[in-house]
Structure 1
Amino acid sequence: MLSIIDKYILKRYLATFFVMLLLFIPIGIMANLAEQIGKMIDNEVPFAEIAIYYMNFTLVIGNLLFPIFLFLSVIFFTSKLANNTEIVAILSSGVSYGRFLRPYLIGASIIALIMFFMSMFIVPPASVGYNEFKYKYLKKGKKDRVTTNIFNQLNENDYLYVSSFDPARQIGYNFTMERFNEENTLDFKISAANIRWVDKDSVYRLTSYVKRKLVGNEEVVETKRRLDTIFDFKIDDLTPVSYIAETKNMFELDKFIAAQKRKGASNINSYILVKYKRWALPIAAFILTIIAVAVSSVKRRGGMGVNLAFGIGVAFIYIFFDKVFGTLAEQSGFSPLWAVIIPNVMFGAIAFYLLQNAKR
């Protein structure tokens, strides 16, 4: 049962957080629009597409900055409580510091659930439109995936290779497919000048098709100028877009990662990192809430400004470590799990230290 103090603090916690979202997200939209408006005009982007883009932008960027907004909002309203000596009155009435912290943890639980649901199910569909618009209009000409020297393992027996891939035309050049049997010896090899997906016929079209198959000790060669056939893969599977993991919900991402592991994808760490970061996001809500309360619950000379300055500094340090370990996981053999755990353990230790100090 929530007491009057619990309801009072919880109401201030949630209200300040959502007001901060309402204040800063429009500022982010206006800043982005001011930066990109020239490209949008040059590309004659329809207004409807711009409106949809900024709806997706709000969800993607808002979800990304949720922990920071949460951290600053807790510092803001807790500093006001401390400056008004409300916290002194609460603790002087016999309420322990741990009991005083309870409504904050309840608020963090509510925000953590919202974060979890958004990152797992709401933001991934928005990320599709957000990134497609970005690469279509704002990063026009820039690659959204690897397009040269693409090697892919479809399953335990089939291997694909193309020297280059044109995603706009859905065509791969210098295509090769090799199938190995259970004895790990080559069963057959298919090569073609290019492979193209023909959407209206739902077939793959191979040009300058050559198939070599070993029958006993003899090599059987089959050639055709053009062959329409079916393969058990999608043309985009040759090289998924760089942001593909961000567009998958919780269940789709697990299946996608399992499939990429079977194929031996070289950038599997970046997909796993996205998964772990989603699970770690709600934990960050609790860590940052505890740090914010511990820092701002004591009345200081300089008032709220000192606390906010400290909060912004901690937020930047948190983002810095998150980016550093994320980059290590994506571009080296560093474990994605540890890349997520280490920043949270570091700041968890800071939260524990600050909380013990605040209690004293």
Structure 2
Amino acid sequence: MKILDWYILKKFFSTYIFIILVFSGILIVIDLAEKIENFRKPELTAWRIFSEYYIYLIPHFASQLSPLIIFITAVFVTSRLASHTEIVAILSSGISFLRILKPYVIGAALIGLMIFYLYGYLVPHTNKKRHDFENRYVREKFIFKDRNIHKQLAPNVFAYIETYDNPTKTGYRFTLEKIKGKDLVAKIEAPRIIWNEKKQKWSLESYRLRTFEKGEEQMKFGAALDTTLAITPKDFESKHLQNEQLTITELSEIIDEMKLRGEANVENFIVERYLRYAYPFSIIILTIIGVIISARKVRGGTGKQIAIGFALAILYVFLIIVFKNFAQKEGFPPILAVWLPNIIFSLIGLYLYFKLPK
């Protein structure tokens, strides 16, 4: 790479890191103000709060805010270069505008790869630790309130639980059915099903097993039966922001599992998986737009360009939220919902590029 590339990249990366730190600091102060009453516990020292909570919140902010921050970074760096007449000098030397874009795209691509790894694999692990802390000290204890729970555990195997008590890990009025074609071949019923933590199995109390073979029904009764099922107490825990705690691989696995069981809200996980792939591309797209809108020197300094860039970045985040909600609640195709903001902003970028003075 030439001196120009290193010059722009140095400014680009240093500004990006600075803005990340500033935004993270502001959001941490806001978060602390909201949770200060929850943190007033004898066992929670300032060091524990930082080392067990906020240290894991920063990577979350870095991954979630990167499209917004990268846009502001591109606008700030380019508008500063333009205000010092450096862009004009570079173009006057015979270097094309596309060539000026090269270091920006390289920088955005490197940050995009970093965000893909963070958002896809590292941040889910830090989110687990963060949510665990919140569950212990911030949120109210979760109580499972659903009734008449139907789950498909395997092809042709269906489970039913009327109610479930998560503090005692006990289900009531349990039924497990195995179907072959259109015929019921086996059915087991129990008034209670309890999770045995030591054995890592379910224990059925006062069960009744019915089997059907060649038109004949056989029945068996028992006081207790330990069995392994494709459900565990984790399936009855809070699903609040669970998708944030899963890697891309885990998301794919749970999506297949939820589809098999016919569970609701699978769209939340599908949207989350597509977002992990869309974010790196959005970083490149927004960087290019940021450079284009701020490449011209304007009267009054860089404030107007930064304001325009900030407004466009907010619009992008707004579109993501709107289309994400459409996919989760209105049946909008998840892949289209996730990629539409990128498509729209790509078209905006092309329009702005061709409107640039030659």
Q: Same fold (TM over 0.5)?
A: yes
Q: Deviations over 1:159-211 (max 9, x none)?
A: 11223333343232332211112x23111222223322111132212234232
Give the letter aligned to residue 29 of structure 2: M
Q: How does 1:226-241 map to 2 (within 5 A)?
A: 226-237=224-235, 241=239
Does 2:179 correspond to 1:180?
yes
Q: What is the match of residue 148 of structure 2?
A: 149
Structure 2: how far apart are the matches of 1:75 and 1:356? 18
Name the counterpart of 1:132: 132
Counterparts of 1:1-360 in structure 2, within 5 Å, are 2-41=1-40, 45=44, 48=48, 51-141=51-141, 147-181=146-180, 183-237=181-235, 241-360=239-358
Q: CA deviation at 1:138?
A: 2.0
1:132-168 C-alpha deviation (Å, 9 max, x unpaired): 322333221456x774332211111111122333334
Q: How has the CA–CA distance of structure 1 residues 208 and 358 changed in structure 2, closer, same or farther, with 3 Å as cutoff? A: farther
Which stretch shows the higher mean deviation, 256-265 or 278-287? 256-265
Give distance in 2, aligned partners of 1:189 and 1:42.
50
Structure 1 counterpart of 2:342, which letter? N
Cα distance change of structure 1 residues 50 and 97 upon mapping to structure 2, 3 Å threshold? closer
Q: Which runs of 5 or more residues in structure 1 are unaligned?
A: none
Q: Give the letter for the 2:301 counterpart.
A: G
Q: Once the two structures are superposed, what CA deviation does each residue of 1:295-342 show, in whole Å capped at 9, x if it has no partner?
A: 111112332211121122112211111111111111232111011121
Equivalenced residue count is 357
Are 2:203 and 2:225, in contact at CA under 8 Å, matched by a contact in 1?
Answer: yes
State how far apart, in whole Å, the 2-side matches of 1:67 and 1:205 are. 49
Alpha-carbon distance in 1 for matches of 2:254, 2:142: 25
Task: Report the Cα distance in structure 2 between the residues aligned to 1:323 and 1:112, rounded to whole angstroms.
Answer: 20
Counterpart of 2:198 in 1: which secondary structure?
Answer: coil
- Cα contact 1:152–1:238 (8 A) shared by 2: no
Q: Which amino acid aligns with 2:88?
A: V
Cα contact 2:15–2:73 (8 A) shared by 1: yes
Alpha-carbon spacing, 1:354–1:153, altered in 2? closer, same or farther (3 Å):
same
RMSD of aligned Cα (Å): 2.2
Q: Is the 8 A contact 1:150 1:238 kept in 2?
A: no
User: How far does the alpha carbon of each residue in 1:91-113 deviate from its partner, in whole angstroms, 9 at most, with x for none?
Assistant: 11111111111111111111111
Whether the aligned pair in 2 keeps the contact of 1:167 and 1:236 (CA below 8 Å) is no
Q: Secondary structure at the match of 1:38?
A: coil
Counterpart CA distance in 1 for 2:148 and 2:170 is 14
Q: Specify the code of the residue in structure 2 equivalent to 1:4.
A: I
| TM-score normalized by the length of structure 2 | 0.92
Return the TM-score normalized by structure 1: 0.91
C-alpha distance in 2 between matches for 1:60 and 1:166: 32
> Any unmatched runs of 5+ in structure 2?
none
**Helix, strand or coil for the counterpart of 2:36?**
helix
Q: Deviations over 1:102-134 (max 9, x none)?
A: 111111111111111111111111111222322
CA separation in 2, counterparts of 1:7 and 1:348? 26
